[in-house]
Amino acid sequence: MTAGGSDPEAPRGRRGRTAEPIATAGPVSHDLPDTHRDPRAHIAVVQGFIGSLMMLVGSVGAGWIANGSPMVRHPLVIALRVEGWGVYSSTVLLTVGAMLLVRSWLRLGQRLQGWRTGAQRSVVLAVCAWSLPLLFAVPIYSRDVYAYIGQGRLMLAEQNPYTTGISTLENWFMLGTDPAWAEARTPYGPYFLWLARAVVGLADAHPDLSVLLFRILACAGVLLCVVYVPKLARLHGVDPARALWIAVANPLFLISFVASAHNDALMLGLAVAGTYFAATGRPVTGVLLVTASIGIKPITILLLPFIGLLWAGPKASWGRKFALWAATATISFGLLVLSGLPYQLGIGWVWALLDPTPGFTGYSPSGFLGQQVQNLVDAVGLPGASVASALRDVLQYAAIGLVLLLMFRGDDRRVVRRLGLAFAAVVLLSPIIQPWYILWFLPFLAVTGIKDNWQLRSLYVVITFFVIFGAQDQLSVWPFIELTVDAATIAFVTALLFTLYLMLLDPHTRHLLVDGGPTGWLGRRRRRP
């Protein structure tokens, strides 16, 4: 596949001004567009739809159903969740479906190689087809959506989710919330709490209907990404269909934002839209949209300095940059302070930035490196845990330093690229990385160019890893069910076998990771005379 693109649009700002083109971060193809769509793209779309249907069926037996849901009393659901054959069948269907979706995504990129005219339509069709079954699936890969219900109930009860845990509510556990949320303060912005209050009020706290409504909100965020990712890509001279395929059609995006119904989807959609408006001469609209994104999840406060740079424009003086940074902050923070007045929420969302969740995940670079350092230091009789904790703190401060560096240094015509790199630094150097955190910065890198080399292959590895991880880590199996083999083991082995098939046996996908990766390199070395 190439990193090429079609002729970029000429985006217009106010008074008909044409926005200056922004330098691309990857090679651009200048081949004449082919007016004929690749008729084989529909094969990958259909295969992915089948994979999503398998996930839909598998979610009934292995997804997260609230104990208070009427679904748990249905005979078919009982059989799938109580009988060994039902649990195993659901686990295999869910896992194979997810891996088939991975393969379909890879094959769609291959079938659209060259990214001719009509490729964007094929990618949009794939996003719609693969999302539709997931829209009606039982929540999988995460059950945070049930915590949203609890926070909406707190709002209806006139309690402040920034100071009160959902365990104060009656029947909170029966509505599906993970016990980890029992005493936790909400890390979300005021606008999402307003939405949660409206959803729970409209659904009368019915768990299944509430999940569907939260999914619709998440799909609104997906739609914003579908609309504005291609627009941002054209602005940077990157093919819009390829950027959309990388950022939105990938299976981790669809599973996390549709099947799991994470509010990150709406946060990200508003952030991408705001960045586009700021980059095309409509900075106030951009600031308002990014502020709305912060009001969903405060992490996108990171975007504000770069929105200010887009407002200032290329070759702006430092005086103009500082003035527009101040204007951006005044508008955004002023709105957020006013937004805390309804329901007496105040600025409680600030704690999510100043008091992050303690601990680490073993697969994050910070967490993994810290574990290795701790083992080495313990081996020589020193306090390894303290040294590892200090190391993780240093990496977090390094991320802040990189954000500041990217704010003050770099090409003013590549501000969106700098924004994406800053976001990536904050995520990748954090001690805790949830699978969907990767999606926060991926669209900004995709629209500015991800090359068809180690960059794209690294993305294949990351997406596949997190799809496999979620398939075996987030299975809902009732604790009283006695199984000969643990369901998580079945899921892991199934996903591992499917991955080996993709890497070693599948004639269409094996070269994506093997022929161009370390195995292929070693093979070429051995063949040299």
14 or 410, which is more confident: 410
* pLDDT for the residue numbered 416: 96
AA letter at 207: P
The domain ranges of the chain are 41-140+451-529, 141-238+250-347, 360-431
Average pLDDT, the chain: 88
Confidence at 35, pLDDT banded by 50, 70, 90: very low
The pLDDT of residue 10 is above 60:
no
Confidence at 527, pLDDT banded by 50, 70, 90: very low
Identify the CA nearest to 108 among candidates 389, 512, 523, 385: 512
Say what the pTM is: 0.89
Q: Left if phi > 0, otherwise alpha if psi is -120 to 50, otherwise beta: which for 189?
A: beta
Q: Left if phi > 0, otherwise alpha if psi is -120 to 50, otherwise beta: which for 118?
A: left
Confidence at 24, pLDDT banded by 50, 70, 90: very low
In whole angstroms, how far apart are CA 291 and each of 190, 303, 335, 415, 442?
11, 10, 8, 18, 20
Confidence at 39, pLDDT banded by 50, 70, 90: low
The pLDDT of residue 293 is above 90:
yes
Confidence at 38, pLDDT banded by 50, 70, 90: low
* pLDDT for the residue numbered 118: 87
- Contact predicate 125/38, CB 8 Å: no
The pLDDT of residue 384 is above 90:
no
pLDDT tens, 472-494? 888 998 888 888 999 999 999 99
CA distance 400 to 307: 17
- Contact predicate 309/277, CB 8 Å: no
pLDDT tens, 409-437? 999 889 999 999 999 999 999 999 999 99
- Write the CB contacts of 479 (distance below 8 Å, at least 6 apart in sequence): none
* pLDDT for the residue numbered 520: 46
- Contact predicate 161/200, CB 8 Å: no
Q: What integer is the mean pLDDT of 181-193?
A: 93
Identify the CA nearest to 189 among candidates 258, 248, 267, 253: 267
The per-residue DSSP string of 162-182 comes to TT--GGGSTTTGGGT--GGGS
- 491 token code pair: 């899921």
Confidence at 509, pLDDT banded by 50, 70, 90: confident
* pLDDT for the residue numbered 115: 86
Identify the CA nearest to 240 among candidates 124, 162, 354, 81: 124
Backbone angles phi, psi at 528, to 5 degrees: -70, 140
CA dihedral 499, 500, 501, 505 (to 10 degrees): 140
CA distance 42 to 347: 49
Q: What integer is the mean pLDDT of 186-214?
A: 96
Candidate from 24-28, 327-331, 334-338, 461-465 with smallest mean pLDDT? 24-28
* pLDDT for the residue numbered 121: 94
Q: At 12, is the secondary structure helix, strand, or coil? A: strand
pLDDT tens, 110-141? 989 888 888 999 999 999 999 999 999 999 99
Local structure of residue 83 (DSSP, 8 states):
S
The pLDDT of residue 17 is above 70:
no
Confidence at 447, pLDDT banded by 50, 70, 90: very high
The pLDDT of residue 190 is above 60:
yes
pLDDT tens, 304-313? 999 999 999 9
